[in-house]
Amino acid sequence: MFVSQLYNAFLTILFVFFLLRDEQRIKEWGYENVLEGHPNLIRYIQAVNQGLKSVYFGYTLTMLAITIISAILYHALNLTALSGLAIPHPTLLAIATGLASVIPLVGRNLLYGAVLVYLSILALRSYLTLLWFPGLFFIVMNLAFDSIIRIYVRPSLSGRLFPIGLVMFAYLLGPPIFGWYGIFLGPFVMVVVVQFLREPLAILVSPLDE
């Protein structure tokens, strides 16, 4: 199984390499031999391309921003923590926070919940008065930080092409349906279908030569 997965990974990397290398040539061939004279099809493909950029590139930038900002906040919170009551491995946790953002709405909340329970247990084992630190963590990360991400960071980096709930289900349902690569294929299918539905169906199903 490992050899098969390694071979599939090699094929994927090889395929992506040639796509990137010959992108312009493939684009020119497509316009000259397939898309020329079909403005409706061109408009649809451009809409899909814009949607994929929004989902993949935009969300990648968002994850990077979340990782950097959360790392700063985790280390800053640890500066206020008493000995024995600190956020564990703040840098690694920041990376996990960025990766958890792949699943909108629920990903980071699950991670915050796990850290909050961990810090609360540590506080209860020492003194009840130390519960202020888990409370501070919750206020800073779950309320203030997440609000900034939702209101300012994500819209500015990812745009508003798709409802956040739709993106969430694309990421959640992709892996169960398609396997591990569904985390990429799920959003891809979502973009193709949604952009198709956004175009007038009567135009798309009509003869393209008209």
Range from 6-20, 44-58, 71-85 carrying the lowest mean pLDDT: 6-20
Residue 209 has pLDDT above 50, yes or no: no
Mean of all residue pLDDT scores within the chain? 79
Query: Band of the pLDDT at 155, cuts 50, 70, 90?
Result: low
* CB-based contacts of 52-55 (< 8 A; 24+ apart in sequence): 52/188, 52/191, 54/158, 54/159, 54/161, 54/162, 55/158, 55/161, 55/162, 55/167, 55/170, 55/187, 55/190, 55/191
What mean pLDDT do residues 35-41 have? 74
Q: What is the pTM of this model?
A: 0.66
Residue 99 has pLDDT above 60, yes or no: yes
Query: Band of the pLDDT at 5, cuts 50, 70, 90?
Result: low
Which position has the higher pLDDT, 116 or 102? 116
